[in-house]
Structure 1
Amino acid sequence: MHIHTLQTQDIDDVLKVQSSAYPTHLLEDADFFHNRLALSAATCWSARDAQTGAMLGYLIAYPWDGSLPPSLNVPLQRIPVQATHWFLHDCAVTPAAQGRQIGQRLYQTGIAHARTLGLHSASLVALETAVGYWQRLGFEPPANPAPELHSKLAGYGVGARYLQRSLHS
């Protein structure tokens, strides 16, 4: 397996991986991925099979302010100027590649890069089925969540949780 920064020519493959990993109501469109790559291409990654070149998974992340998660499938105008936070927007692996530590490798690559950028903390929205996985990686609910958090999470589905962790541990 090879991990590389995601390129615009990878977006068709990203859409295929995404549709194999998520229910229809969580799918984001090509414009969303183009937007995130235009703003922070150096923090988005793909994993490809070393022999076939097939995309096995991807990670979309970017510097953020850490207050609330961005909305699904909504373009951003810019990355916050005072970003000290790494937001892991999406990490998906094809069902056929599950169990090969691809998601873990993408996460490790992304978080190592976030640390080199000097970012201090990380957050993500965990779908209900993945909350335990992310908690095992050190993510926890915020101590004092913003009042608007509940409405922000509604688009992610029942049981979705906003989780955070320090990048210094």
Structure 2
Amino acid sequence: MPYSITPLLPADIDALLSVQASAYPAQLLEDADFFLNRLALSPGTCWAAKEKQTQRMLGYLIAYPWHAGLPPALNEKLVQIPQPATHWFLHDCAVATDAQGLGVGQALYAAAIEAARQDGFDSAALVALASATTYWQARGFNPPMVHSRDLQEKLAAYGPGASYLMRPLKIAAIA
């Protein structure tokens, strides 16, 4: 099942919602307006993985510039990207059940992280669901040194065991 990674388009949102519904429990689902909002604010940081022959969506990744500290709320529209946007926030990455194990998530992440580096971001952050924490830690994401009460309250909306993780994006030169 060869696939390609392309920029996400508004016409992809229905397919995205289908992939999302197959990947997450109902209490974590975000609506079409949410995704259209993020796509309108940051079209160059949202990606789709599509089967080459049929153009069926196999997965997606939603990211955008954000400020350090607290993650954004689930399913809440933004009026604008916060200024200053100090890091790249990976909001959501999901892969259709029948495409899992094909490297779709890794390909989406590789395309997105390269774009974030090209955009000049030094760090990235995400909220990992309990079931995905080890996946993201294997990709260099770790909990910040300090957890505030506000952060814990924000994470509660993501479900038990959710954690805020960060990683540097700049690769240090080898001396």
TM superposition score normalised by structure 1: 0.98
* C-alpha distance in structure 2 between counterparts of 1:86 and 1:32, whole Å: 18
Shift of 1:77: 1.2
SS of corresponding position for 1:34 = helix
Deviates more, 1:144-153 or 1:84-93: 144-153
Residue 168 of structure 1 deviates from its aligned partner by 1.1
- Tell me the distance in 2 between the aligned counterparts of 1:140 and 1:100: 25
8 Å contact 1:66–1:87 — kept in the other structure?
no
Percent of residue pairs bearing the same amino acid type: 58
Cα separation, 1, equivalents of 2:22 and 2:76: 21
Structure 2: give runs of 5+ residues left out of the alignment.
none
Counterpart for residue 23 of structure 2: 21
Alpha-carbon distance in structure 1 between the residues aligned to 2:145 and 2:4: 37
Which one of 21, 40, 45 corresponds to residue 43 of structure 1? 45
The Cα of 1:45 is off from its aligned counterpart by 0.1
CA RMSD, 1 decimal? 0.7
Per the alignment, residue 123 of structure 2 pairs with 121
Write the distance in 2 (CA, Å) between the matches of 1:61 and 1:93: 15
Instruction: Confirm or deny: 8 A CA contact 1:65 1:80 kept in the other structure.
Output: yes
Whole-Å Cα distance in 2 between the matches of residues 20 and 95 of structure 1? 7
- How far the C-alpha of 1:66 sits from its partner, in A, is 2.0
**Taking structure 2 as the reference length, what is the TM-score of the superposition?**
0.95
Residue of structure 1 aligned with 2:7, choices 5, 8, 14? 5
Distance apart, 1:21 and its partner CA: 0.5
Q: Secondary structure at the match of 1:36?
A: helix
Listed one character per residue, the Cα deviations across residues 72-123 of structure 1 (whole Å, up to 9, x for unaligned) are: 0000111012112000000000010000010000001000000011011000
Q: CA deviation at 1:145?
A: 2.4
CA contact (8 A) 1:62 1:88 kept: yes
Instruction: Give the Cα separation in 2 of the matches to 1:43 and 1:127.
Output: 21
Partner of 1:152: 154
User: Is the 1:67–1:146 Cα contact (8 Å) retained in structure 2?
Assistant: no
- Equivalent pairs counted in the alignment come to 169
Determine the structure 1 residue equivalent to 2:163.
161
* Alignment match of 2:69 (pick from 50, 67, 84): 67
